[in-house]
C-alpha cells in the first residue's frame, strides 16, 4: 500500500513534465555508455571473484597454520612452566595443566584435519 502511494505521488509530481525526444546521436551515445558500464561491471565482478578466491585460500590454508603455531607455542610454554615449578606444583595446577593439554590435543587434531 505504501509503495502504491509513493508511485502515485511520484506520477503526480511528474504530471507537468514533458519528455524531450532524443536525437539518434544521443541514443547511440547512451548505448555506448551503457556498454561501457556493463564492461566495467564485468571487470569488477571478475576482480571480486579473484579476491574472493584469494581470501578463501588465505583463510583455509594460512589461518589454520597460524593457529597451529600459536597452539604449539602455548603448549611449549605450559610444559616449561611445569618443568620450572617441578615438585612444588600444587595438585590443582597439575590438574589444570593436564586439562589444557587434553584440549590442546583435541584442537591440534582438528586443525591438522583441516590442513589435510
pTM, 2 dp: 0.44
Cα–Cα–Cα angle for 86, 88, 92, rounded to 5 degrees = 100
Q: Are 111 and 71 in contact (CB under 8 A)?
A: yes
Cell numbers found for residue 75: 603448549
The string of DSSP codes covering 97-114 is: HHHHHHHHHHHHHHHHHH
pLDDT digits (tens, 9 = 90+) for 16-74: 655 555 565 666 677 778 888 899 999 999 999 999 998 888 777 788 888 888 888 88
Amino acid at each position: 500500500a505504501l509503495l502504491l502511494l509513493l508511485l502515485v505521488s511520484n506520477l503526480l509530481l511528474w504530471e507537468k513534465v514533458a519528455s524531450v525526444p532524443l536525437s539518434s546521436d544521443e541514443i547511440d551515445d547512451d548505448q555506448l555508455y551503457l556498454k561501457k558500464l556493463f564492461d566495467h561491471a564485468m571487470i569488477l565482478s571478475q576482480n571480486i571473484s579473484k579476491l574472493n578466491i584469494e581470501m578463501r585460500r588465505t583463510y583455509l590454508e594460512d589461518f589454520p597454520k597460524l593457529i597451529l603455531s600459536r597452539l604449539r607455542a602455548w603448549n611449549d610454554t605450559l610444559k616449561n612452566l611445569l618443568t620450572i615449578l617441578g615438585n612444588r606444583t600444587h595438585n590443582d595446577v597439575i590438574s589444570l595443566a593436564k586439562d589444557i593439554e587434553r584440549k590442546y590435543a583435541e584442537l591440534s587434531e582438528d586443525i591438522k584435519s583441516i590442513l589435510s
